[in-house]
Amino acid sequence: MKVTKTKLPGVLIIEPQVFGDDRGYFLESWSEQRYVDAGIKQKFIQSNVSKSQKGVLRGLHFQNPKPQGKLVYVLEGEVFDVAVDIRLGSPTFGQYESIVLSAENHKQFYVPEGFAHGFCVLSKSATFCYMCTNYYDADADASIAWNDADLNIDWPLKSPNLSDKDSKALSLKSFDSENLPSYHQ
């Protein structure tokens, strides 16, 4: 397993070892001790799967309180995935990291608690998996505008298909400070 640190502390790119031949492939998608050794010490307590069509953009989502760390990967298709540091007081507040995740590259992306997360589908469709460190809580759920000018995310599409919730999302600077997570070293 190859683990790559990004410019955002705690955000990791993970490349599991893939064993393949002409029949297909096998990979270990999760092994607690390997991921603890890689620096992911949080317990995952919920697993989710979503299926979306080309052009769908989901995000930028976060929960506060009850933040969720997420280990994400794609089983079918290809997505452009983004993590944004929204922790007040963080030296990397408002910065983002992005990666293309696909069924072909088998990469995983770890988005720690305190970060907003989103993705858009690049292929005809995509099956997206999330392992989460906390349960979903509708009362704590929030969304930041995907096209927030201050974040300046270089999305690979300009007119995404958004949910009603995401189309009404606020810019990061529009959130009251008590509604954002805090940075803790």
Helix count (H) and strand count (E) of the chain? 2, 13
Tens of pLDDT along 44-91?
999 999 999 999 999 999 999 999 999 999 999 999 999 999 999 999
- In angstroms, rounded to a whole number, what is the distance separating the alpha carbons of residues 156 and 144? 18
CATH at 117: 2.60.120.10
In a domain, 16, yes or no: no
Q: Which two tokens stand for residue 85?
A: 């540091």
Domain count for the chain: 1
Q: Which residues are designated catalytic?
A: 61, 130
Average pLDDT over every residue of 8-24: 96
- In angstroms, rounded to a whole number, what is the distance separating the alpha carbons of residues 65 and 142? 10
In a domain, 6, yes or no: no
pLDDT surpassing 80 at residue 146 = yes
- Cβ-contact 150, 94 below 8 angstroms: yes
pTM (2 d.p.): 0.96
Edge to edge, what strands does the sheet with 141-143 contain? 96-102, 78-85, 115-121, 57-63, 141-143
Provide the domain limits for residue 98.
Answer: 42-179
Using a pLDDT cut of 70, give the percent of the chain over it. Answer: 100
pLDDT surpassing 90 at residue 185 = no
Average pLDDT over every residue of 110-125: 98
